[in-house]
Amino acid sequence: MTDEQQGRFAIGVDVGGTGIKAGLVDTETGNLAFKRVRVLTPKPSTPPEVGAAMAELIELLVSTALELGVVDDRSVLDALPIGCGFPGVVRDDHVDYAANLDRTWIGSNITRILAEHTGRRFFIMNDADAAGLAEMTFGAGRKHRKKTVLLTTLGTGIGTALFTQGRLVPYTELGHFEMNGRDAETQAAESVKVRENLSYEEWAGRLQQYYSQVELLVAPDVILIGGGISKSHTQFLHLIRTRAELKPAKLLNNAGIVGAAILAANNGKAKVKKGSV
Ligand code: BGC
């Protein structure tokens, strides 16, 4: 990594219900310097356990970068800003809500917890918002910045990110409205397809109901379907009808990491960079 490159690199972390992933991201291109690294999300996923896993993850990222010769000097990596996508609502450094992590996160100061375990400053945003930021900057949302775009991430839960005129409306939580009397994400997330062994056709039926209800609540021009499952979009996307243009996201499982890194590189501002069209 040359001196010139250093300024554009940041570390992006994506906290998920099953894994916590990190990458060294070139925030000018959205590319990872090498394949992302991953640790399992601890069970129970309490703040101290996740903090310890985070320390392990950052160390793994740093040691991998050194082994691969991406940089020769550890101090370069130690100085890089870190962004983190978190699966919940975080306001003023405090967790308001986190459906798929241990309940003890609620009310905790996440920035302090992560700093205590890693010795580093983390910029935090919602994981789906981070994925949306990456898709709007480098992925499937790039061409639609002038429109209203809703990214939905289908994973352990359902995350949403709403952009209008290229600006993020943070913390939309459209995985949690009531559907058939229960939380929508518990019926239509990708984890439900796996758990209940649903065929793509069966799952598409759930998704159809989900997206029809979404479109009663918000009226985006474009809906992007993200999460790892979007790589299999040809199996189910054509079975879903929406008023909005429905498209697969592009950055797959790296979207959250890339978006978090963009946040860090912008000193905590979730800005879609215009120049990257
Ligand atoms: C959380 C969201 C998150 C989504 C995807 C939901 O359960 O409430 O904040 O974005 O899962 O991880």
155: which 2 tokens? 């994973």
pLDDT value of position 275: 53
Q: How many domains does the chain have?
A: 2
* 55 shares its domain with 173: no
Residue with tokens 């990872």: 32
Ligand 1 contacts CB of residue 153 (under 6 A): yes
pLDDT value of position 1: 73
pLDDT value of position 154: 97
Reduced to 3 states, what is the DSSP secondary structure of residue 49?
A: helix
* 183 shares its domain with 235: yes
Query: Which of 18, 126, 225, 229 to mutate for ligand 1's pocket (most ligand atoms within 8 Å of CB)?
Result: 126
* 166 shares its domain with 89: no
In whole angstroms, give the CA distance from residue 90 to residue 94.
Answer: 5
Distance from the alpha carbon of residue 97 to the mean position of ligand 1, in angstroms: 9
* 235 shares its domain with 259: no
Contact between 191 and 156 under an 8 Å Cβ cutoff? The reply is yes
Which residues of the chain are under the pLDDT cut of 70? 3-4, 274-277
Reduced to 3 states, what is the DSSP secondary structure of residue 85?
A: strand
The CATH number of whichever domain residue 231 belongs to comes to 3.30.420.40
pLDDT value of position 6: 76
Query: Which of 153, 190, 253 to mutate for ligand 1's pocket (most ligand atoms within 8 Å of CB)?
Result: 153
Ligand 1 contacts CB of residue 220 (under 6 A): no
Ligand 1 contacts CB of residue 128 (under 6 A): yes
Structural domain range at position 24:
3-129+255-265
pLDDT value of position 228: 87
* 12 shares its domain with 89: yes
Q: Is residue 277 part of a domain?
A: no
- Residue type (1 letter), 226: G
Predicted TM-score of the model (pTM): 0.96
State which ligand 1 atom lies nearest to the alpha carbon of 160.
Answer: 10
Cα-flanking dihedrals φ and ψ of residue 23, to 5°?
A: -145, 155
Distance from the alpha carbon of residue 163 to the mean position of ligand 1, in angstroms: 17
Cα-flanking dihedrals φ and ψ of residue 104, to 5°?
A: -70, -5
Q: Is residue 193 part of a domain?
A: yes
Query: Which of 84, 150, 156, 229 to mutate for ligand 1's pocket (most ligand atoms within 8 Å of CB)?
Result: 156
